[in-house]
């Protein structure tokens, strides 16, 4: 079949042709934003899930949904080597400049821009990666104390007040939140708490790996009352079937039941993997319907593609000792695994493995579902490790 017409889109954050199984969560966010816009209370939302479940795609779709309702949105991704103030400052400037064009919000938007100038100036020494255009002179005493928690609270209050006067809301969509430093996360939580207390229409919709819940609690003990933590997981079988079948059917191509079941079984319902398998099944098939034989042939190509991209890019960031730790986990299966069992496979003392485990958690490769347990953050990574390092000593 024509590969140019192939509808599937495996890729980092690439929107799938059919966003199946996420309607309930999208509606939850829509209601939360609509509530704060009206001055009602609603928790910020931190979506948690493993790699490949479609958190980034979902976050982008939610932002598009909000944009259509006239909400002021910003979208940032938190990499490991940038500070939160540096990420937020230029995006907040764009929102304030937009609000400055709304007559009823102009004065408060301009005060917000003065707060932003003070924020950048006051924190430049601590966070030298802050780079933002200055449109108004700083107002002495407004978000310029040099204390991140105090200044970020003052700044977001001004942004929220401008959004309130514009009869709208401001929503910060933040991806990869687990990479934010604890002190910066604490400042963000404190600022959101203050905005919630004042019933200002400003909120966060974030996404991150499962350890995000614990990180929020460590940053501020009241975080559990400030956020909802919906879990974004693999799709149910009927949702996965829709994600596979509908894009092809829209182009007049069908799947056999056995072919669909094979893809769901191979991918465990993870959206990224569904896209990868369906793409290769389309390319392998010469005509409709796509059959079980097509899918089995496509599996070889799909696994090779995942090994060279999705999995390999994560493996290449690791040290030899970290790779060995993950290979020991893979020897035990998909997990989660007790730390003592991993140590047994490695023939090491448990306490000697602490630094490696901590490093892998920091890099987002593993997480701890319960005390003493370790699990992969990347689905099917155990199978990849056994393929890439087949022999285990």
pLDDT digits (tens, 9 = 90+) for 338-375: 999 999 999 999 999 999 999 999 899 999 998 889 99
Distance separating alpha carbons of residues 274 and 263, to the nearest angstrom: 7
CA distance to 151, 154, 158, per residue, from 118 (Å):
9, 10, 12
CA distances from residue 82 to 76, 106, 179, 181, 231 in whole angstroms, order as listed: 11, 31, 9, 10, 26
pLDDT score, position 1: 81
Q: Name the percent of the chain lying above pLDDT 70.
A: 100
| Higher pLDDT, residue 79 or 184 | 184
Residue 379's contacts (CB-CB under 8 Å, 6 or more residues apart) are 50, 51, 52, 53, 234, 268, 270, 273
- The per-residue pLDDT of the chain, averaged, comes to 94
Task: Give the pLDDT confidence of 194-227 residue by residue, as tens digits.
Answer: 999 999 999 999 999 999 999 999 999 888 889 9
Mean pLDDT of the region 32-41: 96
What is the pLDDT, as a whole number, of residue 393?
A: 65
């Amino acid at each position: 079949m024509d590969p140019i017409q192939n509808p599937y889109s495996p890729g980092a954050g690439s929107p799938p042709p059919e966003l199946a199984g996420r309607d309930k969560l999208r509606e939850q966010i829509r209601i939360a934003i609509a509530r704060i816009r009206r001055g009602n209370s609603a928790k910020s939302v931190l979506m948690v899930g493993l790699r490949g479940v479609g958190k980034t795609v979902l976050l982008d779709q939610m932002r598009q949904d909000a944009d259509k309702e006239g909400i002021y949105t910003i979208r940032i991704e938190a990499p490991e080597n940038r500070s939160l103030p540096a990420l937020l400052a230029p995006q907040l400037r764009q929102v304030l400049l937009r609000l400055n064009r709304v007559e009823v919000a102009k004065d408060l938007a301009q005060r917000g821009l003065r707060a932003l100038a003070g924020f950048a100036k006051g924190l430049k020494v601590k966070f030298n990666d802050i780079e933002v255009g200055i449109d108004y002179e700083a107002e002495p005493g407004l978000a310029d104390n040099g204390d991140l928690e105090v200044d970020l609270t003052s700044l977001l209050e001004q942004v929220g007040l401008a959004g309130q006067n514009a009869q709208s809301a401001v929503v910060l969509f933040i991806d990869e939140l687990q990479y934010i430093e604890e002190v910066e996360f604490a400042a963000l939580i404190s600022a959101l708490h203050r905005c919630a207390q004042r019933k200002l229409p400003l909120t966060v919709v974030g996404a991150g790996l499962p350890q995000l819940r614990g990180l929020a609690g460590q940053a501020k003990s009241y975080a559990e009352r400030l956020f909802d933590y919906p879990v974004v997981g693999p799709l149910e079988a009927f949702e996965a079937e829709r994600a596979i079948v509908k894009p092809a059917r829209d182009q007049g191509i069908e799947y056999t039941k056995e072919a669909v079941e094979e893809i769901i079984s191979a991918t465990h319902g993870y959206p990224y993997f569904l896209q990868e398998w369906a793409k290769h099944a389309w390319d392998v098939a010469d005509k409709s319907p796509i059959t079980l034989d097509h899918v089995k042939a496509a599996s070889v190509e799909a696994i090779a593609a995942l090994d060279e991209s999705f999995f390999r890019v994560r493996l290449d960031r690791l040290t030899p000792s970290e790779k060995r730790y993950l290979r020991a986990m893979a020897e035990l299966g998909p997990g989660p695994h007790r730390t003592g069992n991993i140590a047994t496979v490695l023939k090491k003392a448990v306490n000697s493995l602490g630094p490696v485990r901590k490093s892998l958690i920091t890099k987002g490769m593993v997480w701890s579902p319960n005390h003493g347990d370790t699990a992969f953050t990347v689905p099917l990574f155990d199978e990849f490790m056994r393929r890439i390092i087949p022999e285990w000593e």
